[in-house]
Amino acid sequence: MNKLYIVIPAYNESENIAEVIKSWHKIVAGVNAKSRLVVIDDGSKDNTYEIMTGLKARYPQLIPLTKGNQGHGGTVLYGYRYAVKAGADYIFQTDSDGQTIPEEFWQLWDQREKAGLLAGYRHRREDGWQRLIVTKVLQLVVFGCFHVWITDANVPFRLMKADELKQVMKQIPPNYHLANVMMSVLYKKQKRYVQFFPITFRPRQGGENSINMKKIMVIGRKSISEFLRLKKKC
């Protein structure tokens, strides 16, 4: 029986988290009773974690976790390591803002024996032009630094075999803020199996969108610097 662990990082998502848990719990329940939905509160300043724990009785395959704030990259790595240690066979990651559609997961799951890295690419985007710019610029930066062309390097919709992911994670520094990007790069550079599937990407379903052009510039400069430091290891 294949055990699936879905990993979802959450930070200040009190407006979204209940619906996200409800919709993604249906997916793990639909796989089998041994699968789990792991939602990690990244030191939220609101009551995200309290909402999560309050839903545990209603959703028995939910595992709510909390920890100090590390950012998105550190939190997904935390979730991946938790899932590997818990004995997951497959690990899927998405985000807690409600932008991905759970039913689109099944196209990846049907191809799970090929993984590798099976990921979505944001074919239908409804999240604004600024996010689209980030994705396109990141694609070019990754190509310039690592000489690999990746369809959607940072997409929060990815399915991986746990034993292979464990090996890839060894090459990523702890708390690395673009962990999923480096993971995509490593899978490509090491000629592991990678396949992308078209997915819909909705607007944020609640709360505030924190992205703006100033933050894009700051993140971009930081990313290039970190990419160059890791380039020699790839």
pLDDT averaged over every residue in the chain: 88
- Lowest model confidence (mean pLDDT) among 30-39, 41-50, 161-170, 210-219: 210-219
Compute the 3-state secondary structure of the chain and give helix, strand, coil in percent, each to the nearest 5: 45, 20, 35
Note whether 69 and 11 are within 8 A (CB): yes
CB 90 within 8 A of CB 4: yes
Residue 124: HSE in the Cβ half-sphere, 13 Å Cα cutoff: 8
Cβ distance 43 to 68 under 8 Å? yes
pLDDT at 98: 87
Residue 203's Cβ-count burial label (10 Å; 0-12, 13-18, 19+) is: middle
Instruction: Give the mean pLDDT of 75-95.
Output: 98
User: Which of 32-36, 128-132, 169-173, 194-198 has the least mean pLDDT?
Assistant: 128-132
Range of the structural domain that residue 83 is part of: 4-231
What domain count does the chain have?
A: 1
Question: Domain of 52: which CATH number?
Answer: 3.90.550.10
Three-state DSSP at 199 gives strand
| Across 105-128, average pLDDT | 87
End-to-end Cα, the chain, rounded Å = 34
Mean of pLDDT values over 40-48: 97
